[in-house]
Amino acid sequence: MKSSNEQKQVFWFTLINYLGILIGIGSTIFIYPNDKEFLGMVRYVDAIAQLMFPILLFGAGQSLIYFYPLVNEENQKKLFKYAIKSILVISVSLALLLILGNYIVVLENYHFVFYAFPLALIIALIELFKRQAINLQKLSVPTLLEKIIPKISFPIIFLMFLAGYLNVIDGLKLFIASYFIIIVLLALYVFKYYKVNSDFNFKSLFTQIDKKEYYRYSFYAFLGSFGSFLAFRLDVLMIPEFLSFEANGTYSIGVALVSVIGIPALGLFSIYAPMISEHLKNNAINELGKKYIETAKLLFFVGAILYGAIVLGIDSLFMLLPTYDKLVETIPVIMILGANVLFNMGTGFSSEIISYSKYYRVNIMLLFVLVFLNIFLNLYVLTQTDYGIEGVAWASLIAMVLFNTIKLYFIQKKFKILPFDKGYLKLFWIVFVVGLGLYFLPKTQNSLIDLILKSGLFCVLNVFIVYKFKLIYSLNYWIEKVLRMK
């Protein structure tokens, strides 16, 4: 990452996300364990919204990135407006189907879809405006709005619920309202830098790009997004149906605490999306391969540092908290899902390479292989075993390892590039040996000292050794920049 602008974007994206995560962690360990059932209900509604929003977006976000470099400035604006129009048209159709379904479908929890639908519409618009912000290289403020507002609003709603000022329905309504605030502020921000007119004639747009190709790509992008939910978020829908909302709340706490590991990947993948698309269109595979290795090493290192610190210190951290008894049952879920996130980060932007290449259909096929594995494994552990939410976590890990391995094989066959080199191998052994040594370090009688000794020392030693060996460009770049400021 030698571009100064890219460095700044990644830095601010990561900083804002971690600020949101820190707020979220505080809420997760101090507030949410006090009513796991309510937490499970909110996460259930959110999961339904996440299932709906790819339908409403129908690939418009990825199409905006994919076709943006191919059209002139006037048609770039029309491409953005056409995406907004598509979302609104599809929303009306889906709303009518949901109302009709209310008279046909007999499900105990069906009424939750009417809270999820407006949330899904708002999330779809947020995603689209974020994609436009990426094209403008203005990702920091949208990230701030999206990551910080829910992290502040939901704990407030939760505390009001615990205090008896809100019932479940009022809590859900306020949760949705917080997202409405995000889209209003996000739209104002994007339109400040990107002026669009009221011309909704799209004839010139589809003379510059083929309309069939636009819809074809959008359809496959939709399948990818929809498949991603089924692959990565389906467990949050299945747990309440087979176990309970309380179990869903416990699992959600684990997911929330593990999410700290994957934040850098979100920033890099978002910022690098236009670059990946451009390199593939220009057939600059060698340059893409270098970025592939560089980002994979960076993401593996950051992920391994965070995961290692969690593995070594999570029990000591929870021992310091008054909610220990309610949090301890999440530890196995955190360990397993953390490994899942780390493995995904360590393989770099594999999905993005396939998605923005001529082989984008393959990504859909692979996603649905993952969906099949995830559904099959989840159904098995939920109906045939007593493993509960720990079994769900193992199912996700197994499916993810197989999924990423197949992607790596495909990319190596088609592009002759992999996200690994000798430096990556050295990096792996450094992290592993340091972690193993500290794992067997004897415990003291003080949980705080154990936390500092094991997790703190793990982070410091790894950063120092990797910096000295110059294995990661970005790490040396920022450390040397800080040292020069002194």
Largest CA distance in the chain: 73
Are 242 and 234 contacting, i.e. CB atoms less than 8 angstroms apart?
Answer: no
pLDDT digit string, tens, across residues 347-360: 888 888 887 888 87
Q: What angle do CA 456, 462, 464 make, to 5 degrees?
A: 100
Model confidence pTM above 0.85:
no
Look over the chain and give the mean of its residue pLDDT values, rounded to a whole number: 85
CA 259 to chain centre: 8
Confidence band (pLDDT; 50, 70, 90) for 408? very high
Cα distances (Å, whole numbers) of residue 55 to 1, 61, 318, 353, 391: 34, 12, 40, 23, 29
Q: Give the per-residue pLDDT at 182.
A: 92
pLDDT at residue 194 greater than cutoff 70 = yes
pLDDT digit string, tens, across residues 307-341: 999 989 888 888 888 878 888 888 999 999 999 88
Residues contacting 160, CB < 8 A, separation 6+: 166, 171, 174
Alpha-carbon gap, residue 96 to 120, rounded angstroms:
15
* Rounded percentage of the chain residues whose pLDDT exceeds 90: 25
pLDDT digit string, tens, across residues 211-222: 888 888 888 788
Q: Give the per-residue pLDDT at 14.
A: 63
pLDDT at residue 193 greater than cutoff 90 = no
Q: Give the per-residue pLDDT at 320.
A: 86
Q: Of the ranges 279-283, 373-377, 479-483, which one carries the lowest mean pLDDT score?
A: 479-483
Q: What angle do CA 398, 261, 477 make, to 5 degrees?
A: 125
pLDDT digit string, tens, across residues 213-256: 888 888 878 877 787 777 777 788 888 888 888 888 888 888 88
Tokens 């929809």 sit on residue: 226
Alpha-carbon gap, residue 334 to 38, rounded angstroms:
21
Highest mean pLDDT among 109-113, 203-207, 434-438: 434-438
Are 245 and 37 contacting, i.e. CB atoms less than 8 angstroms apart?
Answer: yes
Q: Give the per-residue pLDDT at 1.
A: 44
* Rounded percentage of the chain residues whose pLDDT exceeds 70: 95
Q: What angle do CA 51, 57, 62 make, to 5 degrees?
A: 110
pLDDT at residue 279 greater than cutoff 50 = yes
Q: Give the per-residue pLDDT at 458.
A: 92
pLDDT digit string, tens, across residues 86-128: 999 999 999 999 999 888 877 777 888 999 999 999 999 998 9
Q: Give the per-residue pLDDT at 3.
A: 52
Are 126 and 183 contacting, i.e. CB atoms less than 8 angstroms apart?
Answer: yes
pLDDT digit string, tens, across residues 139-178: 777 877 887 888 899 999 999 999 999 999 999 999 999 9
Confidence band (pLDDT; 50, 70, 90) for 2? very low
Structure tokens belonging to residue 29: 């360990």
Q: Give the per-residue pLDDT at 432.
A: 93
Domain range summary for the chain, segments of one domain joined by +: 1-228
Query: Per-residue pLDDT averaged across 48-53, rounded?
Result: 90
Q: Give the per-residue pLDDT at 434.
A: 93
